[in-house]
Structure 1
Amino acid sequence: MALRVIGLVVPSGANAFKAVNVAQKAGVHTSSVRSLRYGWLAYALGERTTPRLKQNSKIITLDGNLSSGKGALAQKLADRLGMLYMPEPDTFYLDKMTGEKEPLPVDFNGMCSLEKFYTDPKAADGNSYRLQMWMYTMRLLQYADALEHLLTTGTADSEVPRSVLCSAQRPVRSRQGVILERSPFSDLHYNEIKGISICEFLPPHLVIYVDLPAEDVQKKLKQSGKSYLQNVPLTYLKSIEDSYKKSFLPKISSVDGVFIVCRPQVAEDIDYLKFEKGPWLEQDDVTYHHMRMLVEDKQRVATLTHIPKFLPEITIGAHDYDEKYYAFKSLPGKKYAPGYNADVGDKYIWLK
């Protein structure tokens, strides 16, 4: 399928929120890309998750229509609860994961355009399909990043002697929860692809739905600085609203609570939630171990969306894929693994 090109650039074990800031240190006969990651040995030597799960070690998602105020509320809640806020991913989320200084061409980012989706939703070139599939994959990768953050914070993974010590030998630090705008669970397109991928993940602990009428959403969009959003049809906005209320919210009812938000004291309301039901309560250190192994392998996560279907309008054939592969490899710093490309200034390559 078209999105198989994702395999060219998905980093293994990368955190989107760490990729830009973490500097790899290379020494003699050590690879800058062979970072010491959590694995079976750390688990066998005592690394456990459940002792560090505290009250706010949760995954919370905010859902709602376009421009419904999800982002502002999510940021407010994250600050109030001491959680990590992850904004809704855009089409260039993959570039943020790989730490690109500037976004790569769209040929390596789903070959789709959000602006074209709103101005020409029925474009014959398959842009709408590619965009929605690409964004589902980006949300899946971001959700994996959120789970990895939840399961990893509070440990000293980069310090091997400490990371393999049993919990009794070091201070117990709590896992930090994450608040996201939307999630792959609220994506209502392409049931076959969603069915074979979302089943590998636990749902959010809490879903908060921001209930803003479609008419108010359209008024806000008309005042937007983005011209391609100013003429979004009301029928489209109403269809999103109906999909949430008639399909997503009933299906996600297994989550501990679903808020219909129209009040400012939502953060205080969260403090009183008991979280007494849901699949998270059925987990133990063994299942957390397997989940952690999955979500740190972003290539494996991305591959979950691959299905053997041929759609002429959007499928990338072998020759096109080969062409794009070598086009990607010809970009500065992409011929070899990070740290081994002299064309971008990597030093002492022969010692690594």
Structure 2
Amino acid sequence: RIHISSEQNLQYGWLAYMLGDRATKKFTEYSKIFTVEGNLSSGKGKLAQKIAEKLGMKYFPEADIHYLDRITGDGTLLHEKFNGFCNLERFYNDPKCPDGHSYRLQAWLFGNRVLQYADALEHLLTTGQGVVMERSPYSDFVFLDAMFKQGYIHKRCLDHYKEIKEISICEFLPPHLVIYIDVPVPEVQKRIQEKGKPYEKKVSPLYLQNIEDAYKKTFLPEISETSELLQYTATEAEDVEKVIEDIEYLKFDKGPWLEQDDVSFHHLRLYVQDKDGVLDPAAIPRFIPEITIGGNEYDKIYYEYRSV
């Protein structure tokens, strides 16, 4: 192989660590992971992007079913048969589809959120630049909880999800800060009707209420034990300067990040850069009809994907 550049990108490993590559040397005041949470159409993306701009952090838009397509290859979005056999339009049109589409969708989205969170951690540990994200694998369960309460999925799907969630994110470190935008369901509905896509306008108000309940009754109390938490109304969230001021007053004095050193950061960086390894826990051998396909069908899809 003939090298035509004076630079070569090498994967991080033990040699780089032995030669002095240390994460903490790159860290600054906002070398942190922030996530912005909230119901549908709550303004998460707008706030997350502005916070990232103000604090010199990197903005990660919410991971969708095509996240892997967007960050690999030439960015071409592949057919849904290569992306979990699911799409949002079908979910909103028929959330109780008997072929298990709703759980396929959420399981696929969870895998993409795990992958994106690994990318965020890798970016932080590699560059020292903090990341602001829309949602994370830590909060993803609010949708599954809402689906189950609405009768969109079976109990076996809920049990399977809880198992893969527990073993998928146990090696990660939680966000330093979670920002929750509290928008009442009637206002969420109004925004969706005004600016949402045609199929999104079919969303059930009870489904939206269940998402809000899962956030307030389960996610926020749990995440506040390890992460800083800021909550705003829709109006308050529009005052970005006030949000930045609140962030500046935070002490960030709790959670497992305080217990880390360069050795643990080294092992975490090795883990998150191995994306196949990161996603392995999401493929535990359980027979769940909604997401299980036969060997012949798998081979057919695999070789068709290889030929794309």
State whether TM-score is above 0.5: yes
Aligned-pair distance for 1:29? 8.4
Aligned-pair distance for 1:303? 1.1
Aligned-pair distance for 1:256? 3.8
1:123 to 79, 94, 97: 97
Percent identity, please: 58
Match of 1:223, SS state, is helix
Question: For residues 111 and 213 of structure 1, what CA distance do their matches in structure 2 show?
Answer: 32
Note if contact 1:67-1:220 (Cα within 8 Å) is conserved in structure 2: yes
Q: How does 1:15-54 map to 2 (within 5 A)?
A: 27-28=1-2, 35-54=9-28
Q: Does residue 242 of the first structure (1) align with residue 213 of the second (2)?
A: yes
Question: For residues 18 and 268 of structure 2, what CA distance do their matches in structure 1 show?
Answer: 16
Match in the other structure for 2:139: 186
AA paired with 2:80? V
Match of 2:37, SS state, is strand
Residues 250-304 of structure 1: per-residue CA shift (max 9 Å, x gap): 1101234211113221111101111111110000001000000011111111112
Question: For residues 311 and 197 of structure 1, what CA distance do their matches in structure 2 show?
Answer: 18
Aligned-pair distance for 1:49? 1.1
Question: For residues 60 and 292 of structure 2, what CA distance do their matches in structure 1 show?
Answer: 31
Question: For residues 116 and 50 of structure 2, what CA distance do their matches in structure 1 show?
Answer: 20
- How many residues of Structure 1 are paired with residues of Structure 2 in the alignment? 281
Match in the other structure for 1:3: none
Question: For residues 40 and 102 of structure 1, what CA distance do their matches in structure 2 show?
Answer: 34
Match in the other structure for 2:184: 213
Aligned-pair distance for 1:225? 4.2
Q: Where does structure 1 lack aligned partners over 5 or more consecutive residues?
A: 1-26, 154-174, 332-352
Structure scoring higher RCO (CA < 8 A, sep ≥ 6) equals: 1
2:248 to 271, 288, 292: 271
AA paired with 1:232? V
Higher helix share: 2
Q: Does residue 303 of the first structure (1) align with residue 303 of the second (2)?
A: no
Aligned-pair distance for 1:330? 1.9
AA paired with 1:212? V
Q: Where does structure 2 lack aligned partners over 5 or more consecutive residues?
A: 145-160
Question: For residues 69 and 190 of structure 2, what CA distance do their matches in structure 1 show?
Answer: 32
Aligned-pair distance for 1:314? 2.7
Residues 144-196 of structure 1: per-residue CA shift (max 9 Å, x gap): 0100110011xxxxxxxxxxxxxxxxxxxxx1100000000012142111011
TM-score, length of structure 2 as denominator length: 0.88
Match of 1:199, SS state, is coil
Note if contact 1:207-1:255 (Cα within 8 Å) is conserved in structure 2: no
Match of 1:52, SS state, is coil
TM-score, length of structure 1 as denominator length: 0.77
Residues 128-148 of structure 1: per-residue CA shift (max 9 Å, x gap): 111000000000000001001
TM-aligned CA distance change 1:203 to 1:101, over 3 Å:
closer
AA paired with 1:211? D
Residues 110-131 of structure 1: per-residue CA shift (max 9 Å, x gap): 1101111111001112211110
AA paired with 1:327? E
Q: Which one has the largest radius of gyration?
A: 1
